[in-house]
Each structure stands twice: as C-alpha cells, then as structure tokens.
Amino acid sequence: MPFQRLPLWIQVGTFMLAVNAGMINVLGLLTVLHQSVSHMTGNVSLLAQALLHFDIAQIIYLFCVVVCYVIGSFYSGLILGSSQFKLGRRYGIPLSLVALCIFLCWLFLPYFPRYALLWACVAMGIQNAMVSHYKGTIIRTTHLSGVLTDLGLALGYSVRGLNLEKRRIILHLLILIGFFMGGVIATLLYPSLKLQAFLVPALLGLSLSITYWFLYLKSRLTP
C-alpha cells in the first residue's frame, strides 16, 4: 500500500496519540517536579548536569526516568516484534498498557509524587515505539524534534522545486497540531481537576485501544 493511500483512520489515530502525549507531557510539567516525561534528550542533559553537581538524588531519579522510557519501548518491541506499521498487528495491547501506566501514575501521585511519574515515562516509551516507520517515514508521536526537522526539510525541498509527498507532510502536521492541542487541553483542565486530569489521557488511551480492537476484530472476521 503506497503512502498516499494511508487510511484516514490511521491518520486520525496518529493525531489522537499525539494529543495524548501532549496532555501527558504538560501534566508532567505542571505537577510535582515540572518533569518532562517524553523528551529524553532534555532529561539526559539534566542527568549530565546532575552528575557534575554530584546530586545523588537527582542522578538516581533521572536515571530511572530514562530507564523507564527504555523499558516502555522494550515492551512495545516485545509485543509487536517490529516498528514497521502493519495492519493486523495487535496494537491494542500496547495501547491498553499506555492507559494502564497512566492510571498507575495517577494512582500513586498523591503518595509517591516523585516516582509516580515514572509510570508516565513507561507509557511514553510504549507509545513512541508502537509505530516508528511507515513506507520510509519516521513516525514519532511523543516528541516533536523529528517532526519539525522533517517539516523543515520539506520546506527546503519545496523551495528547490522538488516533488513532495503531501500526505507525509499532512501526517507530520497532524502530529504537531495534536501534540500542541493536547498541551492546551491539559493546561485548561489542570487548574480545576488537579491530579484527576491524568485520568483524561488514561481514558483516551483506553478508548483508542478499544477502537483498535474493534477494527482489528472486524478486519479478521470480514471475508
């Protein structure tokens, strides 16, 4: 199936995953330690800084943040067996795990706020590793560095008069807009819901899982 014919429901799913990641990341920034749970580049930089200042507590915590993100990616790899998108793979399982991890984060935040966010890091690792490639396109839904790079490249190619795959650009724009909207939604919800706001991305992840399982079973039962 060529990239130009990427089904609409996949594009909608990608957008909703980006919304989910945007909400979770902003909630992580608004609560407890103002900690990003999806941007590991910044966390590794903070870890290096903590090492230089010999801040043992911060070193341990940031190391756990990075490791938990990797553990999440590990689970996606273990469950799916490939980062290449393929219809029929059981993406409902990692989507359910994302929802479960965010729920556990919400459950433990009032009691262990510093380390409860580690569950959110696991969730972001799972989500980001679910679909990494499709027809040569790198798809990341939990951070925007790669998305912005690809959009910048596309603009450069356009100025040179080169042919562009419009659907690919649209997909990257959907991720960018979705992540931004997720952040806006979380910022609006947090003042009134406080920690209960974490239940919103948990329910969204669960809804995406149920929707995918429905589509998966429907495709399996259709002759």
- The structural domains of the chain, with segments of one domain joined by +, span 9-209
Give the list of residues 6+ apart from residue 64 with CB closer than 8 angstroms, or none: 115, 118
Evaluate if residue 212 carries a pLDDT over 90.
Answer: no
Residue with tokens 């979705």: 178
Say how far apart CA 151 and CA 168 lie, in whole Å: 9
At residue 135, what is the residue type?
A: K
Minimum mean pLDDT among 55-59, 83-87, 112-116, 142-146: which range? 83-87
* Location of structure tokens 């989500």: 127
Contacts for 163 with CB less than 8 Å, ≥ 6 apart: none
- Predicted confidence band of residue 8 (pLDDT cuts 50, 70, 90): confident
Q: Express each pLDDT in 138-158 by its tens digit.
A: 678 888 988 999 899 989 998
- The packing angle between helices 145-159 and 166-193, to 10°, is 140
Tell me the angle at which helices 92-108 and 113-130 cross, rounded to the nearest 10 degrees: 170
Q: On the CB side of 206, how many CA atoms lie within 13 Å of its CA? A: 11
Percentage of the chain beyond pLDDT 70 is 89
Contact 182, 26 (CB under 8 A): yes
Q: Which helix (H) or strand (E) holds 134?
A: strand 133-134
Rounded Cα gap, residues 100 and 132, in angstroms? 21
pLDDT of residue 167: 79
Tell the residue number behind the tokens 């469950």, with chain if given. 79
9-209: CATH topology: Growth Hormone; Chain: A; (1.20.1250)
Task: Please compute the mean of the pLDDT values over residues 106-130 and round it to a whole number.
Answer: 93
Residue 64's nearest CA partner among 95, 43, 34, 49 is 43
Reported pTM: 0.91
**How many Cα atoms within 13 Å fall on the side-chain side of residue 6?**
22
Predicted pLDDT of residue 1: 40
